[in-house]
């Protein structure tokens, strides 16, 4: 097995771990605001690791670039949407959870 393959495996497993964490957060966290944190985790870290893992296997620089582009687009959407939803929820008085 090549070094690149080992690296890919590690990155992909890491990505899957963060997706799992995102889902668990989505299910367990107590209010809209904390659940939005789960959203950015899967977007940002999980997909980032998976994309990097696959980019190592890519045939050309441009193909790797396309994978990175997909990641950046998801980041942009995730960041924008989580602000808009949080802001809307705040404006409509959705309650905070506090310990």
Residue 60: CA count within 13 A, CB half-sphere:
3
DSSP letter at 30? Answer: S
**Smallest separation, CB 58 to other proteins (Å):** 9
**Smallest separation, CB 38 to other proteins (Å):** 7
DSSP letter at 57? Answer: T
Residue closer to other proteins (CB basis): 3 or 95? 95
Handedness of CA 20, 25, 70, 67 (dihedral sign): negative
Residue 89: CA count within 13 A, CB half-sphere:
16
**Smallest separation, CB 63 to other proteins (Å):** 6
């Amino acid at each position: 097995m090549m070094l690149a393959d080992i690296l890919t495996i590690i990155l992909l497993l890491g990505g899957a771990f963060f997706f799992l964490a995102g889902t668990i957060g989505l299910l367990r966290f107590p209010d809209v605001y904390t659940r939005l944190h789960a959203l950015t985790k899967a977007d940002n870290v999980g997909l980032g690791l998976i994309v990097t893992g696959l980019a190592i296997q890519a045939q050309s620089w441009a193909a790797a670039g396309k994978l990175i582009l997909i990641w950046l687009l998801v980041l942009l959407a995730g960041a924008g949407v989580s602000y808009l939803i949080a802001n809307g929820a705040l404006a409509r008085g959705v309650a905070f959870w506090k310990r």
